Chain A
Amino acid sequence: MSNIEQFKNRNVSEEYFLVDIEDYPTDGWGKFKRVVKRTFQGELFVGLWVVLREMIKFDIHTVQYPKEKMPIGPRYRAVHEMKRLWESGTERCIGCGLCEKICISDCIRMETKIDENSRKEVSEYSINLGRCIFCGYCAEVCPELAITHGGRYENASEQRAHFVMYEDMLTPIDMLKAGQQQEFEGFGAITPHEDERVKKTPLAY
């Protein structure tokens, strides 16, 4: 069946059957018989055989974490990343403070100041990962697609408060140049053909 009906059919009861389970013994004699039966049936050796057989086959599926890691989906929401502009390599963050405002666990704090070009500059930025619930609101609200979630999910720490600073999250410039900065595809990311929907301002001159 290749049509959609197979997914719409929620009635799965015809596939089900009841497992044949013997009634539990109620008297002492019955219980004694069950113990003797289980002890001498040899089920123990069935189990031992399965283990031995799989061991000899050397067909092992265990991921050798932390040496090996599973690939993670592009929408996974782990430790935040700060992105750079592809063209110029400058930081995308403009210091608008929306992530700080929207954060429901109140774990983002930032300090801004005016820089020598009279522009707003982020002088300090931190996220307390100990409090962060990785809800993704900060990435969603960011008007510049500057803060996003990344795939780094290891948060083990010796203390509850565990801060990550701006520089740690920022894409290293050499990675950007090597084209290794990854765009976030999760919620809040730009949708395809977005530019076609933008209404343009008349610029007659």
Chain B
Amino acid sequence: MSNITINIDGREIQTEEGEFILNAARANDIFIPAICYLTRCSPTLACRICLVEADGKQVYACNAKAKDGMNITTSTETIETERRAIMEVYDVNHPLECGVCDQSGECELQNYTLEMGVDSQSYSIKDVERKDKDWGHIHYNPGLCIVCERCVTVCKDMIGDNALKTVARGADAIENEYKESMPKDAYAMWNKLNKSIIGLTSGEEMLDCTSCGECAAVCPVGALVDTHFIYKSNAWELHQVPATCGHCSAGCQITYDVKHTSIENSDGKIYRVMNEWNYVSLCGAGRYGFDYDNKVQAKDEVAFAKAVEAFKKADTLAFTSTITNEEAYILQSLKEKFGYKLVNAEAKAFQTFLKNYSEVSGTSLYGSDLTQTHAADFIISLGTALKSDNPNARYAFNNAISMNKGAGLYFHPLKDPIIDGIGKNVMSIAHAPLTEEAVLYLLLDLFADKSKLPTSVVEYIGSFHSLKTVTVEETIKEKVVEIVKVKKVNEETGEEEEVEEEKTSMVPKKISKEVQVDENALLEIVDAPQNFSESLEKFLAKKESFSLIVGPDLYTHPNAKNLARLVALLEKYSAFKLVMIPSLTNTLGVSLICDLDDARGTYTVGYNTKGDFTLSALGEGDLDMPALNQQEGTLTSIDKRVNPTNAAVGYKGYELNDIANALGLSAKLTIDYTVKLPACKGFKAELFDNLPNRYENDGTEVRGYVLDILSTETSATESVEAITDAKLDGTIIYLANPVRQFSEFTNVSANLKEEIGIYMSESYLKTSDFNAGDTVKVKTQNGELSTKIISDNKIEGEIATLPTFDSNLNSQALFSGYRFSTATIQGV
């Protein structure tokens, strides 16, 4: 990629070689109309309205790449005629329902119709019956659909569900006279439009996907609408509150759209969540799980007094990572003042992992982020159920593979049909639990620069290699000469007679051959498929930018320390850029700010977790706290970014800052602490009110600030330990949530109702005695619980998963840290 200069409408602009003209124009605030194009996705060429003239030739700005010195005119007379005709075609048979349409003026069809000055209609065709469809969480009205295919494109290139496609419309053919009379591109576009409409890939009645709702977000008209929002409110009534999503560590930028609850009730209510879909894609939890605010009507002074008493009595503060950086800072300040123990097992595990990682890498934080993953062309994911742990990491994985001609390896014991569905450039390796170290050794073997790796590691890796003589069957082609009798006409006599002729042909033949091959025992340990080496070779062709995603399985692994050091070695001595998925919303922030302890003391105050006195943003505790969508503050995301979030709806009760003030700290607002976040951990002394939260036209993320990566002291050696042959026998259960569920906060959301139970794949249910709906007893060495079996078609294989989003199930008690465990599952 090199910088080039192009000229658009007389303006010299700088852009990169190979950038689409449209993106270059947009980055420089030059307007080129375009309907079907989505930044970060492949050009669809459905609308053809982005026609421009480049060096005297008409091209589509969305798929024509900029070349050095190119001269581009965005508007000529022919182009204007085409554009006007295209908009007229889009308006053919489009119902005049703007008054009731949910797009309510935020409509690209309306905008461009006015932009192109369409004041009369020259085309017509008989309409077909287009009835609206209920697809579950999405409502589709084909009457309003202009088949720009943005929904199809985003689902394929960004999300990776491939749930939507175009299907036949069943309309009459366009009259022949138009072919001559109409502008060329407008006719071609109409011809395509008139044949298609959006349908479901599965052919079923209902959408069966990971339900992110991105298709409805990108819809330029009101054809695709979230079912919960349909005909609920006009867009102009909604007040947009810019915020950061509080459900997982991706920290997506969202806006909460807020309006009064009802005619009688003037309190604010969130009606929907919107995103800048050109630059950030949401998951279903972010989009639909917005109603988790804690509705508190008044300050409960009695409970508050009790809470202050409890804090005075307590020696331990236990909490989860669904808090802001400022609250984490308050808890740390309280610890420094009163000597509390701060207990948060999941953040502690991540903190320890980061510390062990730093000892080898010499940096306080991992080097990469998801933006770089989007741009990578070879991605490896290890130790994470990608689609449910961090949907945005999954989108990056899918997006990079489908857009950059990339390839990926997905190492995880739990088989995932969604990941497999991305395409044939993804290889899933279902290694056994506890063999993550072997995977990392394999990756070091395959990708690390052996001349720089510590010799002990190189030697250890070498010990897995052996030369083996194998008999390979090879097919060769052999020359075979046959004598065949052919009937031929004798030229002299004119009679037909049989003549013998020689005929040579090449016949394939199988032969056995003995060859010496290098055998890598690591491949067998991680259960790599037979064709692993050949596929990998194909995958790695022409790859330039490598990305590694590691996840929460590693942090709680019995040998987490060794894993952390191996990960650091891999980042240090290979081309891979590393991203770690923090396990919960603000795990990264908490692990940087708080000095965490291991065990609870005698009297615990729990914040969003059970204690002797419980503060709860879910409204279940002894004192209510505001939920993340009712607070101002900052959250630290997977991208190491400190993102500001705002209060979308009001909160009338007490917050942690009030308790801290009662205990002797002093701050008027929680956000007074933003500026005080520890600089020694990479935070910056920025005032909350100065933190931006937006994207620029060229896609630059201008949100909060990025944490500084500090250099840390390294341990004396880069030694790592050998792999153990520990393994889990029998039935294995895994601690993971279904998509769209992360915590109690997603569980309370009315739009995300998910059945609680033990999730089993359809194939597992078929081969075992269990049936969906059965109540079973799940028992491990740590405890037991009984719950219902739920059939889940988003997982495969024989590992059952237990969710954590409902604390009533108390599934975590069954596990001793590590997310996998052996268990016995018995019918009751």
Contact = CB atoms under 8 A, between A and B. Distances in A.
Interface string B117-128: 001111111100
A121 interface: yes
B231 A121 contact: yes
B104 interface: yes
A204 B237 contact: no
B124 A120 contact: no
Given A109-B260, A113-B232, A124-B262, A96 B100 contact: yes
A126 B121 contact: no
A111 interface: yes
Contact of B100 (A94, A124, A126, A201): A94
B124 A202 contact: yes
Given A101-B234, A202-B122, A111 B99 contact: no
Interface in B125-181: 125-126, 132, 141, 172, 175
A114 interface: yes
Given A94-B99, A97-B104, A114 B263 contact: no
B258 to A, nearest CB: 15
Interface string B86-122: 0000000000000110001000000000000001111
A98 to B, nearest CB: 8
A96 B232 contact: no
Contacts of A111: 262-263
Contact of A112 (B124, B126, B231, B236): B231
A138 to B, nearest CB: 14
A186 interface: no
B230 interface: yes
Nearest to B121: A201
A95 B132 CA distance: 19
Given A101-B236, A126-B263, A205 B126 contact: yes
A41 interface: no
Given A100-B237, A101-B237, A114-B230, A201 B124 contact: yes
A11 interface: no
A121 B99 CA distance: 12
Nearest to B266: A109
Interface in B222-254: 230-234, 236-237
Interface string B285-316: 00000000000000000000000000000000
A94 B101 CA distance: 10
A42 to B, nearest CB: 67
- What band does the interface of chain A fall in when counting residues whose beta carbon is under 8 Å from B? 20 to 34
Contacts of B122: 202
A199 interface: yes
B351 to A, nearest CB: 48
B107 to A, nearest CB: 14
A79 to B, nearest CB: 18
Interface string A184-205: 0000000000000001011111
A203 B99 contact: no
Interface in B663-683: none
Interface residues of B, number: 25
A104 B744 CA distance: 42
A203 to B, nearest CB: 6
Contacts of A114: 230-231
A204 B231 contact: no
A113 B263 contact: no
Nearest to A204: B124
B263 A109 contact: yes
B231 A143 contact: no
A126 B264 CA distance: 10
B260 A95 contact: no
Nearest to B260: A109
A120 B172 CA distance: 30
Contacts of A95: 100, 231
A100 B238 CA distance: 13
Contact of A118 (B125, B132, B232, B237): B132
Nearest to B177: A204
B231 A96 contact: no
Interface string B586-610: 0000000000000000000000000
Nearest to A144: B99
Contacts of B124: 201-205
Interface string A109-142: 1111110001111001010000000000000000
A91 to B, nearest CB: 13
A173 to B, nearest CB: 23
Nearest to B127: A205
A112 B232 contact: yes
A95 B99 CA distance: 8
Contacts of B120: 199
Interface in A13-40: none
Contacts of A120: 100, 231
A31 B237 CA distance: 71
Nearest to B172: A205
The winner among A124, A126, A201, A204 for most chain B CB atoms within 10 A is A201
Contacts of B260: 109
B425 to A, nearest CB: 41
A111 B232 CA distance: 7
A96 B99 contact: yes
Contacts of B262: 111, 124
Contacts of B99: 94, 96, 98, 143-144
Contacts of A113: 231-232
A129 to B, nearest CB: 14
A111 B260 CA distance: 10
A33 to B, nearest CB: 71
A120 B100 CA distance: 7
B232 to A, nearest CB: 7
Contacts of B132: 118
Nearest to A128: B263
Contacts of A96: 99-100, 234
A95 B230 CA distance: 13
Nearest to A101: B236
12 contacts: A94-B100, A96-B99, A96-B100, A97-B104, A97-B237, A101-B234, A111-B263, A114-B230, A114-B231, A120-B100, A202-B121, A202-B122
Given A112-B232, A114-B230, 7 more contacts: A111-B263, A113-B232, A114-B231, A118-B141, A199-B119, A201-B121, A205-B125
Interface of A: 94-98, 100-101, 109-114, 118-121, 124, 126, 143-144, 199, 201-205
The 9 closest A-B pairs by CB, nearest first: A96-B99, A120-B100, A205-B126, A97-B234, A120-B231, A114-B231, A109-B263, A202-B124, A204-B124
